[in-house]
Structure 1
């Protein structure tokens, strides 16, 4: 949120609205395409929307992007365990790895059960923390522009970054449900917009000394009280765990061409250890915008075929 929106001041709010709107549109169109064409994995979706050679290139790009996202989540969560509980970085990564394996050993069912519990908790916690910051703001210094060129590009990249994984997850859900509710993709974007606006507004009240730390809201939470800090630590771990679960599941499903799901699971998780030497904020600031640019062709294709599906319907 800091990298993509807060550093653009009031214009960052419009960026968040743009990003959330795009997520709603693309989420809705993805479910429409998947339901009408009986698509059950993102490989089939790529073959449906792109020529064969381009589909292979997009497949490789998406695979790498999701793997990078997984590595970022591992580093972020292990950094929290190190800084707040003194758990060595490699041990922290191992703890997260074991947790993910336990959830996903039964496949998509484990992911769905995890999110049904973790996501509502995260939403409630975000509402509580952000509302608290708005009621009790701290003196804020002047903020400079971010590394991204402007607010509307940030909004677009934020949407493509999120939907790169979102599209993959939506297509994989088709394996379990005969028909995915169209409202699911749309509602997800609406909820994200509302939460983003609240978070951005609360983050904009932070002084620069807290805004430019590795995890700004965590720094502020701990400064307010130990209990608020603990709650936010739990919230961060929940957010990273749900993303890591989705990333891992998506990669393992794609590797089923060569390995079984359970055989690929430990291999995928072990591969993320290459990210350990890097800082969380550095990975987010550099790799996330890059993934956003990479996801633009996929999002444009979904919008195009989604509009065609509406006309046919």
Structure 2
């Protein structure tokens, strides 16, 4: 296997973008089921809309970061929101990144307990140690780990979904049943669900991608955001199609893709549990890097200490349990994310379209 060229700015953007979005919820299939598959085949239109939004917002964030030569998301927020509102959003984002890190640590604990029969604290501490080790390598360490692990977890997720599609045993009634409108915040239609899904998933990528501003050319920024957004859409589409095909069987499971993987073959189920943990790992890195990168220049002593401190602080919080933290914080994250996504959508990337001939795209 040829080692990816880590000097490529486009690769850095793509892997960090994908790594920030594909967390445990995506890899488990639960997010995709709740936001898309529950609408049946109409949910695939929602995936198409979400893909377009991921591409658009990724380009908006990354071109803004390059133009500002940013090293953290504060500069980007001030440009988009103004100084006063940016200060409020900055504090909210810092809190979300910190809590998100704690949730990923708790997720690792849950996986160690359910898959290996070990105490949750073991999974929490192992992931905490690995995240600190990655941050100690600075931005290069973060990019290197994502360049290796993101294609691996993405390949496993798409591979399991394709195998499930190839062996689909669901009746036509399964997809029809999936067409019922879900309750709660997602009630309504697939358009609203797609908008909420993207807004919910943009806070971490904004924090991570903003740290690359001064390290990229405009062309690298755009190409990387395009590639990352398209790959996110492709993965979501394949997973949604697989869940729709098996909806009658998977709708009652907390980890739909793990059920489908085990149904294909027990060995595939074990491999996929690894993919879910990798998703937790890379998302935990993204949260810790976004938090530390806001407080200090990536790679500096202050950055390392901020990452270490954040991880240590969240270890006891993570021991409260994965489900407890997700149920309390994720709905709040979605509402805050709507504000940020709304601002990005209201500021078209006009500068990019005017200057694309200059940057050779």
1:154 is matched with 193
Deviations 1:71-98, CA, capped at 9 Å, x for gaps: 2322222211111111111111001111
2:206 is matched with 167
> Offset of 1:127 from its aligned partner?
2.4
Q: Distance in 2 between matches of 1:58 and 1:73?
A: 22
Higher mean Cα deviation, 90-99 or 158-167? 158-167
- The answer (yes or no) to whether the contact 1:30–1:306 under 8 Å persists in 2 is no
CA RMSD of aligned residues (A): 2.3
Note the 1:295-306 alignment, pairs <5 A.
295-306=337-348
Task: Say which SS state the counterpart of residue 71 (structure 2) adopts.
Answer: coil
Note the 1:118-267 alignment, pairs <5 A.
118-139=149-170, 141=174, 142-143=177-178, 144-146=180-182, 147=184, 148-149=186-187, 150-177=189-216, 179=218, 180-206=220-246, 208=248, 210-256=250-296, 260-267=302-309
> Offset of 1:110 from its aligned partner?
1.0
> Offset of 1:226 from its aligned partner?
2.2
Task: Say which SS state the counterpart of residue 33 (structure 2) adopts.
Answer: coil
> Offset of 1:107 from its aligned partner?
1.6
1:44 is matched with 75
- The answer (yes or no) to whether the contact 2:110–2:321 under 8 Å persists in 1 is no
Q: What's the TM-score once normalised by structure 1's chain length? A: 0.90
5, 29, 42: which one aligns with 2:60: 29
Q: Distance in 1 between matches of 2:327 and 2:169?
A: 25
Structure 2 CA distance for partners of 1:79 and 1:268, relative to 1, 3 Å: same
Q: Distance in 2 between matches of 1:118 and 1:311?
A: 33
Deviations 1:145-166, CA, capped at 9 Å, x for gaps: 4341232122112112222111
Q: Distance in 1 between matches of 2:329 and 2:203?
A: 14
Q: What's the TM-score once normalised by structure 2's chain length? A: 0.79
> Offset of 1:14 from its aligned partner?
1.6
Give unpaired runs (5+ residues) of structure 2: 1-31, 356-361
76, 79, 84: which one aligns with 2:115: 84
1:99 is matched with 130
Task: Say which SS state the counterpart of residue 35 (structure 2) adopts.
Answer: coil
Task: Say which SS state the counterpart of residue 194 (structure 1) adopts.
Answer: helix
Task: Say which SS state the counterpart of residue 276 (structure 2) adopts.
Answer: helix
> Offset of 1:215 from its aligned partner?
1.4
Count of residues in Structure 1 that have an aligned counterpart in Structure 2: 311
After TM superposition, what 4+ stretches of structure 1 lie above 6 angstroms from structure 2?
none
> Offset of 1:235 from its aligned partner?
1.0
Q: Distance in 2 between matches of 1:221 and 1:267?
A: 37
Note the 1:279-290 alignment, pairs <5 A.
279-280=322-323, 283-284=325-326, 287-290=329-332
> Offset of 1:66 from its aligned partner?
2.0
1:277 and 2:345 matched: no
137, 145, 149: which one aligns with 1:114: 145
- The answer (yes or no) to whether the contact 1:33–1:305 under 8 Å persists in 2 is no
Structure 2 CA distance for partners of 1:279 and 1:213, relative to 1, 3 Å: farther
- The answer (yes or no) to whether the contact 1:159–1:292 under 8 Å persists in 2 is no
Structure 2 CA distance for partners of 1:52 and 1:176, relative to 1, 3 Å: same
